[in-house]
Structure 1
Amino acid sequence: MTEPSNADDQRFEQSRSSDNEHDLDSRQRRDARRREAPSAAVVYEAIRAEAESELTRPLLGLAWSALGAGLSMGFSFVAQALLQSYTPDSPWQSIVSSLGYSMGFLFVILGRQQLFTENTLTPILEVLRVREIDTVVRTLNLWVVVLVANIVGTAIFAAMLAYFHVLSAPIDAALAHISAAEYEASFVTTLVRGVFAGWLVALMLWLMPFAETARVGVIILVTFLIGLAHFPHIIAGSVAALYAVFHGSHGVFEYLGVFFMPTLIGNIIGGILMVAVINYAQVAYSDSRREN
């Protein structure tokens, strides 16, 4: 008896596949489409639409939201200090304490507050789409208002910790230790590390629109990595850096020159490269006739 050939096997499998497809009713086919991963173009459009909405918000409302975000980010600093204080001095202590770095980001992102790098870099997508001076101006206004209000919020939080001794002495010592670390690297090193921080935040934003029930996990994992690697974030790090200023161990000009400027530049470069150059380019230059 003749053995079936490979061609016969392929025709049989194709026939079975076709029969299975016809067995699906319209409801099952819709369900199958819903379970498909969204294309890069769909993710891009979701982020761009949100960025467009942010650009139309009144600046006063943005300022109050950004002030709240600056205050909320202070809890990353506190959570890190608490975990560091209550864990034994060991090589894995930083792994545990870095989990606290995620706390402020959870409050801000889930609470829909305005955070520089989290809500301000995505409007670059709208700038690239319309390429009009009005959109550039509105984006710059958004950046300035959110950044200034964020820093004011972090300064208020840091001053309260430094002047009112909110926490116990051992935890104050942990706060001082964490804040000193913000000034250890050189200008160039801080800038390059800031690029990675901005890059990771942009990656997180790209994942968020369709993360659904995994949103909390995405935020924790990405920000935990930022904290563990000591990649400086302009707002989260400013709470610690300004605590050192109010505590008297570092000066205002040190904060501006050693931490603020290199971190800000690095975060912007990293975020724009990731959001604008990579994610925008993969959609803008993709073949529209194919799924990404």
Structure 2
Amino acid sequence: MKMAETHDDDDLKAADPKDLHRTVREEGEEELRRPAMSLFWSGLAAGIAISTSLIGEAALHEHLPDAPWRELVVGFGYPIGFLFVVLGRMQLFTESTITAMLPLVTRPSAWALGRTLRLWGIVLLANLLGTAIAGWAIANGIIGDDALRTAALAVSDKITRLSPGGTVINAVPAGFVIAVLAWVLPSARMQSFWLILSFTYILTIAGFSHSIVGSAQAFLLLFSGRSEPVETLLGLIAPAVLGNLIGGAGIFALLAHAQVRGEMPKELT
């Protein structure tokens, strides 16, 4: 996930939707033009880094007693991966649902559509490869010990409780929340740490499905013999990806654009 840069000659006004739209849109335009290999390596790093959310939750789960409040404390491990990715300016698929979508809906064209699909495809593939590497490493004891692996499996088992259709629905709010996070970060850069922490903490304690963190959990289950390849890809990961897209690109990005469309310069409408 990349945070938008401020402009020296045109500072953002807090809570000004037109300025936020312009900033996020311009960031998206830059991402659409990035070389494929740059997107891939950044996405791979993000996939590995986001897996520290699973490790953080597992470490807390391992050391806490089985009590009603345990899940609320375990949830504080979840934001760790997002902090690494956002502050490290890496490419995360769920963030790109809004950054890549705004240029497309602002200036619809075959080029923009092709570039958007290209960006999503490369980043999603790279993110999943990164989480697969992390899931394999945890399952085989390369990362952590047996106790951490057992705790990580306990945390990951939660994603198997929903049907594929239920996962799609459950992933829509997660896509919406991450898109909102990407939208508000440019106007609150000094508070980025607390925004990321609060948004992602609420996401996990509410039990919403995030496709990339969820894929780390799914791959851990796969490499630990708890699930089959088809179930992992089509039953656990793909429904979460679809739900995140609906929530981020299909709902929030369109709403964010609609609220300023009538106030934009004619050349952008």
**What is the alpha-carbon distance in structure 2 between the residues aligned to residue 245 and residue 35 of structure 1?**
45
8 Å CA contact 1:85–1:171 kept in 2: the answer is yes
Q: 2:53 aligns with which of 76, 89, 95?
A: 76
Distance 2:28 2:222 in 1: 34
Asked whether 1:213 is paired with 2:190, we answer yes
Match among 16, 20, 26 for residue 49 of structure 1: 26
Q: 2:159 aligns with which of 182, 192, 197?
A: 182
Tell me which residue corresponds to 1:252.
Answer: 229
SS at match of 1:144: helix
Matched, 1:230 2:210: no
Question: Contact 1:199 / 1:271 at 8 angstroms: preserved in 2?
Answer: yes
Distance 2:13 2:117 in 1: 37
Identical counterparts, % of pairs: 35
Aligned with 1:134 (options 103, 111, 114): 111
* Mapped partners of 1:39, 1:74: distance in 2: 34
CA distance, structure 2, for counterparts of residue 208 and residue 134 of structure 1: 28
Q: What secondary structure is seen at the aligned counterpart in 1 of 2:233? A: helix
Counterpart secondary structure, 2:18 = helix
**Cα–Cα, structure 1 residues 170 and 254, in superposed 2: closer, same or farther, change >3 Å?**
same
The answer to whether 1:172 aligns with 2:149 is yes
- 1:121 partner SS: helix
Aligned residue for 1:103, secondary structure, equals helix
Q: Classify the secondary structure of the residue corresponding to 2:227.
A: coil
User: Aligned partners of 1:258, 1:229: CA distance in 2, in Å?
Assistant: 21
Q: If the length of structure 1 is used for normalisation, what is the TM-score? A: 0.84
CA contact (8 A) 1:122 1:275 kept: no
Q: Residue 132 of structure 1: CA displacement?
A: 0.7
Contact 1:76 1:103 in 2 (8 A): yes
SS in 1 for 2:102: helix
Counterpart AA for 1:74 = S
Structure 2 residues without counterparts, runs of 5 or longer: 1-10
Q: Please give the residue correspondences for 1:45-124 in structure 2 after superposition, counting only pairs within 5 Å.
A: 45-124=22-101
The residue that corresponds to 1:200 in the other structure is: 177
State the one-letter code of the partner of 1:97: V
Rounded Cα–Cα distance in structure 2 between residues aligned with 1:206 and 1:109: 13
The residue identity in structure 2 corresponding to 1:155 is A
Structure-1 separation of matches of 2:216 and 2:30: 29
- Residue aligning to 1:155: 132
The total of aligned residue pairs comes to: 256
Q: For 2:142 and 2:127, how far apart are their aligned partners in 1?
A: 22
Structure 2 residue matching 1:244: 3-state secondary structure: helix
Checking the alignment, whether the CA contact within 8 Å between 2:97 and 2:245 is kept in structure 1 is no
Is the 8 Å Cα contact of residues 66 and 113 (structure 1) preserved in structure 2?
Answer: yes
Aligned-residue CA RMSD in angstroms? 1.8
- Residue 260 of structure 2 aligns to a residue whose secondary structure is helix
Instruction: Say which of 251, 259, 264 aligns to 1:282.
Output: 259
Higher relative contact order (CA 8 A, sep 6+): 2
Q: Which amino acid aligns with 1:73?
A: I
For the pair shown, the structure with the greater C-alpha radius of gyration is: 1
Cα deviation, residue 166, structure 1: 3.0
- 1-structure distance, mates of 2:161, 2:174: 17
Match of 2:247 among 241, 259, 270: 270
Query: Structure 1 residues 93 and 49, CA, compared in 2 at 3 Å: closer, same or farther?
Result: same
Q: Does the aligned pair in 1 maintain the 2:156–2:217 contact within 8 Å?
A: yes
- State the alpha-carbon separation in 2 of the partners of residues 66 and 35 from structure 1: 28
TM-score w.r.t. the length of structure 2 is 0.91
